Amino acid sequence: QSVLTQPPSVSGAPGQRVTISCTGGSSNIGADNGIHWYQQVPGAPPKLLIYDKTNRPSGVPDRFSGSKSGASASLAITGLQAEDEADYYCQAYDSSLSGWVFGGGTKLTVL
């Protein structure tokens, strides 16, 4: 059972907008402790998609955006493309565990 809770799967048609939620608690997301998002396609290592809640590393399209409200964070993907089909993970630092935690992952299917 992950400390951060994500929906197991989401789906959307090409061109649509989807959001992936990540729910934690007061010791991680609620504490604003470095919330990040990763994209992982099968057979490849994860790729940093969003860091520090809302920031995109160089090269990540602006179709990807992050937000946070209370003890939950969200990843939004607009203009869905077939290449976006992947697993997505949220991550945060947990002050009560004195370490980093990942969400259980969300599989995005592009219909």
Site of interaction with another protein (CB under 8 A): 2, 34, 36, 38, 40, 45-48, 50-52, 57, 89, 91, 93, 97-105
CB of 33 to another protein, least distance (A): 9
Q: Are 85 and 109 in contact (CB under 8 A)?
A: yes
Question: For residues 16 and 109, which CB has a smaller minimum distance to another protein in the complex?
Answer: 109
Question: For residues 16 and 96, which CB has a smaller minimum distance to another protein in the complex?
Answer: 96
- Scored b (16 or more CB within 10 A) or e, 62-91 reads eebbbebeebbbbbebeebeeebebbbbbb
CA distance 25 to 106: 19
CB of 62 to another protein, least distance (A): 18
Question: For residues 63 and 107, which CB has a smaller minimum distance to another protein in the complex?
Answer: 107
CB of 67 to another protein, least distance (A): 16
Residue 16 in 3-state DSSP? Answer: coil
